[in-house]
């Protein structure tokens, strides 16, 4: 879990990215692997993992996924 001085900054970025993602979905975007929003989805997942801790659901791998690109 991240220390307090950075929590607000990380939380604000999470809200920014999540809001952008929701707006895209409302406007008809369908998320696919490798689309233009993929890097931001990965950033969002990483920030959530940092904020909520390594043991949180945000850091768990999906079945069949790998941590190395």
d(CA 39, CA 45): 10
Tokens linked to 50: 């940092």
Q: pLDDT digits over 6-49, tens only?
A: 899 999 999 999 999 999 999 999 988 999 999 999 999 999 99
d(CA 50, CA 2): 6
pLDDT at 5: 75
pLDDT at 69: 42
pLDDT at 44: 95
pLDDT at 45: 92
Statement: residue 1 has pLDDT above 90: no
């Amino acid at each position: 879990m991240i220390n307090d001085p950075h929590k607000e900054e990380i939380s604000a970025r999470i809200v920014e990215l999540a809001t952008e993602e929701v707006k895209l979905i409302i406007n008809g975007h369908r998320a696919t692997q490798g689309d233009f929003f993929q890097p931001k989805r990965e950033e969002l997942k990483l920030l959530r993992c940092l904020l909520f801790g390594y043991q949180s659901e945000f850091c768990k791998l999906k079945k069949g996924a790998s941590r190395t690109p």
